[in-house]
Amino acid sequence: MSPNEKMWGGRFDGTGDPAFEAFNCSLGFDARLLQEDLEGSRAWARALGQAGVLEEGEVEQLVAALEQLGTELRDDPTPLSQSAAEDIHGFVEHALQARLGDLARKLHTGRSRNDQVATDLKLHLRGQAAELCAGTRELMSALVDLAHDTAELALPGHTHLQRAQAVTAGHHALAYVEMLGRDVSRLEAAQVRSDTCPLGAAALGGTAWPVDREALAADLGFGAGPTRNSMDAVSDRDHATEVIFACSLLMVHLSRLAEDWIFYCSQEAGYLRLGDEVSTGSSLMPQKRNPDALELVRGKCARVQGDLTTILTLQKGLPLTYDKDLQEDKECLFDALDTTRACLQVTTTVVRSARYDAERCRAACAGGFMEATDLADLLVQAGLPFRDAHGRVGAAVRAAESKGVCLADLDASDREQHLPELAGVDLASVLSVEACLDRHDCLGGTAPHQVQAQARAWKERLQA
């Protein structure tokens, strides 16, 4: 591009180095901000009209051309990939100039690409965050439906990846619903905090034209009005950072669900089976059925953690106000948004396809002495201090383990030695997995009727 084709060519002589021009160019990724750039430009045209910089007829022409541009490029975006413009703002300016000639050259009055790009990003994030919230809610609904169907299905619960206590599969599913619910509120809170309009901040010092920034912010739907400090406005990327953080934590949650379920699907556990539509085979081993969907979700979590590191490191020590470093905010942001959206969608399909093997789960609950704490509680009910009960049950577990039986099947002499207070109690019935689950009946506990109540409450919340 020659200097006079550039938005800023006036003080330059000679053409730029082609490798540098390619290096400097962001159109390949910021083309994604086209519609937001057009929206911001329409609002700026109206603001210049109110400020008396443009005549009413000029505003109308600009707004109409910007709208037309948006429609045409939505239908056919090829001009975006063929353009030599430096970025999306330059692209729009050129395209407008091709239509309106000199009138288009007035639009950038009192505006900078610095406040422009900050505004575009916030507008973009508003839509993207709403989409992510909707996708998260879809996944939550799938998990709530699963919880409803498996509120009574016993499953080994682990600590230290050792069998700990039986829980219900529904309880396990709702644990993820809680995490995802916090993720939605994090995304929403990030939007509330960034709901201010940077346009009018200009390059860094605020526009010199009598633009009504309150009206401009309202025009663009920013609920909290205009940004209050122009230097902050053009250099602030907290909004992108917070959304990437919300995505990374959401991805951490998805990766934990993925990991749990990859294990549940293993032959070693065998608790769960995923649908064919999200499973894959092996090119060599004909018998294989692999949980690739979940492994990819677990793996893609790493990308989003990388995106968060990128955006944080990008801003570390960056001097006020705008620096070109900030052009690097976009690819990590878009990658985090796209990756998270795709993972939410695939995970939702995985959850809807998943079927627990109730028999395998039940059989697994019979091993590992997961009823030991319940037995200690029974001794406490019979009058023993808990620490003594813990010691007694520990010894009973040792005896049962050495004989290869479960606690309910200890013989008379072991029972007499370790559990004399429970003489005559039908241990098989009070220590059955159902009885144990039912006893964990506190609010938030795994008793089936608590899980059913939580699933119902979530269903209502998600419908509201």
Q: Catalytic site residues? A: 160, 282
Instruction: Give the integer Cα–Cα distance in Å for 256 and 389.
Output: 35
Least CB distance to ligand ARG at residue 328 (A):
8
> Residues 46-56, buried b or exposed e (16+ Cβ, 10 A)?
bbbbebebbee
Q: Which stretch binds ligand ARG (CB under 6 A): 219-227, 318-326, 385-393, 431-439?
A: 318-326
How far is residue 241 CA from its own chain's centroid?
Answer: 13
Q: Which stretch binds ligand ARG (CB under 6 A): 66-74, 113-121, 235-243, 407-415?
A: 113-121
Contacts of 121 (CB under 8 A, 6+ apart): 33, 36, 237, 239, 240, 329, 330, 333
DSSP, collapsed to helix, strand or coil, labels residue 269 as coil
**Whose CA is closest to 183, among 45, 347, 323, 375?**
347
User: In this chain, which of 36, 37, 39, 87 binds ligand ARG, going by CB under 6 A?
Assistant: 87
Q: Does 33 bind ligand ARG (CB under 6 A)?
A: no
178 class by beta-carbon count within 10 Å (0-12 exposed, 13-18 middle, 19+ buried): middle
Q: Does 322 bind ligand ARG (CB under 6 A)?
A: yes
Instruction: Give the integer Cα–Cα distance in Å for 235 and 253.
Output: 31
Q: Which stretch binds ligand ARG (CB under 6 A): 56-64, 110-118, 349-357, 403-411?
A: 110-118
How far is residue 230 CA from its own chain's centroid?
Answer: 30
Least CB distance to ligand ARG at residue 329 (A):
7
Q: Which is nearer to ligand ARG, 6 or 459 (CB)?
A: 6
Q: Which stretch binds ligand ARG (CB under 6 A): 91-99, 270-278, 280-288, 321-329?
A: 321-329
Residue 67 sits at the vertex; the CA angle it makes with 62 and 70, to the nearest 5 degrees, is 130
User: In this chain, which of 50, 97, 290, 327 binds ligand ARG, going by CB under 6 A?
Assistant: 327
Q: Does 113 bind ligand ARG (CB under 6 A)?
A: yes
Residue 289 is given by DSSP the state -
Q: Which is nearer to ligand ARG, 321 or 446 (CB)?
A: 321
What is the length of the chain?
Answer: 464
Least CB distance to ligand ARG at residue 325 (A):
9
Instruction: Give the integer Cα–Cα distance in Å for 22 and 85.
Output: 10
Q: Which is nearer to ligand ARG, 121 or 437 (CB)?
A: 121
Write down the residue that tokens 């709901």 correspond to: 195
Alpha-carbon torsion, ordered 127, 129, 134, 137, to 10 deg: -170
Q: Does 122 bind ligand ARG (CB under 6 A)?
A: no
Write down the residue that tokens 């037995």 correspond to: 375
Q: Does 26 bind ligand ARG (CB under 6 A)?
A: yes
Least CB distance to ligand ARG at residue 341 (A):
22
Q: Angle formed by the axes of helices 238-265 and 292-315, to 10°?
A: 160
Q: Which is nearer to ligand ARG, 314 or 437 (CB)?
A: 314
Q: Does 41 bind ligand ARG (CB under 6 A)?
A: no
Tell me the C-alpha to C-alpha distance, in Å, between residue 69 and each of 74, 77, 302: 8, 10, 38
Q: Which is nearer to ligand ARG, 322 or 356 (CB)?
A: 322
Least CB distance to ligand ARG at residue 20 (A):
14
Least CB distance to ligand ARG at residue 112 (A):
7
- Rg of the chain on CA atoms, in Å: 31
Q: Does 114 bind ligand ARG (CB under 6 A)?
A: yes
Least CB distance to ligand ARG at residue 44 (A):
15
Q: How many residues bind ligand ARG (CB under 6 A)?
A: 10
Q: Which stretch binds ligand ARG (CB under 6 A): 9-17, 133-141, 257-265, 322-330?
A: 322-330
Q: Which residues bind to ligand ARG, rule: CB under 6 A? A: 26, 30, 87, 113-114, 117, 322, 324, 326-327
